[in-house]
């Protein structure tokens, strides 16, 4: 449920730090990539080596440590890739520093630069917890969106039975899952996703293509995988690494993509065409590099190019998604298209939804190209349109999948 999530666990100085070992171990078991950050006093209770062994990652005890030489500007790069920061145990001191904007140790520094969700598991003496300054700091952090788990009533380090005990590891883990856990709501679904921009060759080195980066399609494939789906990814030309556990079927042209889609769609329950498919291809594919002075003709002979212009005859490619929507057995499948528009975004997207007989279409404009974020409107067959704010493509992908489940 936490597969591919990056979680920073901040450990400040308290006896409850021994329970954080269990937290780290469970987070790892749930698939998270965990980085432990410790204050100086935390190291009096548990050794960094314990957390290094449990997390499988270097432990951050000092931001200038040699061990972090492979992580450039660690307090920024780590916090930027984190999906969640858990501070457990959180002492009155660290709560105070985070609430008041002090950044003088690895936990408070990393937390200050993080935009992700934050979970605090306080642990301290009951009188410290009741101290009005601590209460004020806690209220302030809650207002800022920090989530608290505990403290609980129980046996404290001083021997008292009172409030201040850190929540048990399973309560902390449950909260973490609630905050960033991935629902397994696409389990047993077979999803076919296409991504990237097709290339239509003119000669061995030249082609007609578009600016699609494939990032949206890859984000959809990854989100579907994380939610339990069995994903087939047909990828046209992208400069992206293959997603974990998915081996993309690589294609180049629209014709190759059509063949790959036709060869794989019958197995799929859901087909998501995020690829930017070229509408036209060159009628002739010159087997040789076109020189300034000569090019191949339709019948294969060479023609001298004397004029200042070179005419390239383009012919229409098949509409892949329309071909699928017209196939027998299509009724049992959900078809999702993407619409790239520069003008009349919603009107044109709705037209495509109808003409291609889709269940849903995701309308976006050209600003989405090659960006890590997208601003889209999701339109479903019943005409309902949902405009999403500008979000990271991974978040947009999850919203698209949510909408698809509501169809």
Residues that bind ligand CTP (CB under 6 A): 254, 273, 275, 277, 279, 317, 319-321, 337-340, 352
- Least distance in Å: CB of 358 to ligand CTP? 8
Q: Which stretches within 37-117 are classed as H helix? A: 48-55, 74-81, 92-100, 106-112
Q: Indicate if 21 belongs to the active site.
A: no
Sign of CA dihedral 187, 404, 179, 80: positive
Within 13 Å, how many C-alpha atoms sit on residue 120's CB side? Answer: 29
Angle at 329 between CA 326 and CA 331, to 5 degrees: 80
Structural contact between residues 294 and 304, judged by C-beta atoms closer than 8 angstroms: yes
Least CB distance to ligand CTP at residue 339 (A): 4
Residue 350 to residue 106: CA distance in whole angstroms:
51
Give the Cα separation of 184 and 370 in Å (integer). 29
How far apart are the C-alpha atoms of 324 and 205, rounded to whole Å? 31
Q: How far is the CB of 388 from ligand CTP (least distance, A)?
A: 17
Asked if residue 170 has a cis previous peptide bond (ω within 30° of 0), the answer is no
Strand ranges in 159-252 using DSSP code E only, listed in sequence order = 161-165, 190-195, 200-201, 207-208, 230-235, 249-250
**Which tokens go with 153?**
């009533």
Q: How far is the CB of 203 from ligand CTP (least distance, A)?
A: 22
Q: How far is the CB of 273 from ligand CTP (least distance, A)?
A: 4
Q: Work out whether strand 270-273 and strand 334-340 pair parallel, antiparallel, or are unpaired.
A: parallel
Minimum distance from CB of 340 to ligand CTP (Å)? 4
H or E stretch at 255? helix 254-264
The CA-atom distances, in angstroms, between 248 and each of 48, 196, 232, 245 are: 40, 11, 7, 10
Query: Catalytic amino acids?
Result: 158
């Amino acid at each position: 449920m936490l597969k591919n999530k990056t979680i920073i666990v901040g450990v400040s100085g308290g006896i409850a730090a021994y329970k954080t070992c269990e937290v780290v171990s469970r987070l790892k078991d749930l698939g998270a990539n965990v980085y432990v950050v410790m204050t100086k006093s935390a190291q009096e209770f548990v050794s960094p080596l314990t957390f290094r062994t449990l997390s499988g990652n270097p432990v951050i005890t000092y931001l200038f440590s040699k061990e972090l030489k492979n992580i450039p500007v660690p307090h920024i790069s780590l916090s930027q890739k984190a999906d969640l920061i858990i501070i457990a145990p959180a002492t009155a001191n660290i709560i105070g520093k985070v609430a008041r904007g002090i950044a003088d140790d690895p936990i408070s520094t990393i937390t200050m630069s993080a935009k992700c969700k934050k979970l605090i598991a306080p642990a301290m003496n009951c009188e410290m917890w009741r101290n009005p300054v601590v209460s004020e700091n806690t209220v302030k952090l809650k207002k800022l969106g920090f989530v608290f788990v505990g403290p609980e009533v129980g046996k404290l380090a001083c021997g008292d039975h009172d409030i201040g005990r850190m929540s048990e590891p399973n309560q902390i883990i449950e909260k973490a899952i609630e905050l960033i856990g991935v629902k397994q709501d696409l389990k047993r679904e077979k999803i076919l996703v296409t991504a990237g921009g097709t290339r239509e060759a003119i000669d061995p080195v030249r082609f007609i293509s578009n600016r699609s980066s494939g990032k949206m399609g890859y984000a959809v494939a990854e989100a579907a995988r994380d939610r339990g789906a069995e994903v087939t990814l047909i990828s046209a030309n992208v400069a992206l690494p293959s997603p974990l556990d998915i081996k993309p079927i690589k294609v180049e042209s629209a014709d190759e993509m059509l063949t790959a889609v036709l060869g794989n769609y019958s197995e799929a329950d859901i087909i998501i065409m995020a690829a930017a498919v070229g509408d036209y291809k060159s009628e002739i594919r010159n087997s040789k590099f076109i020189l300034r002075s000569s090019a191949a003709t339709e019948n294969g002979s060479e023609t001298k190019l004397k004029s200042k212009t070179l005419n390239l005859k383009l012919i229409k490619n098949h509409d892949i998604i329309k071909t699928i929507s017209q196939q027998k057995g299509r009724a049992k499948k959900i078809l999702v298209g993407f619409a790239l528009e520069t003008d009349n975004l919603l009107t044109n997207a709705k037209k495509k939804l109808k003409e291609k007989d889709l269940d849903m279409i995701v309308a976006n404009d050209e600003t989405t190209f090659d960006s890590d974020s997208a601003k889209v409107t999701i339109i479903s067959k019943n005409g309902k349109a949902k405009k999403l704010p500008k979000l990271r493509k991974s978040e947009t992908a999850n919203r698209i999948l949510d909408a698809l489940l509501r169809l």
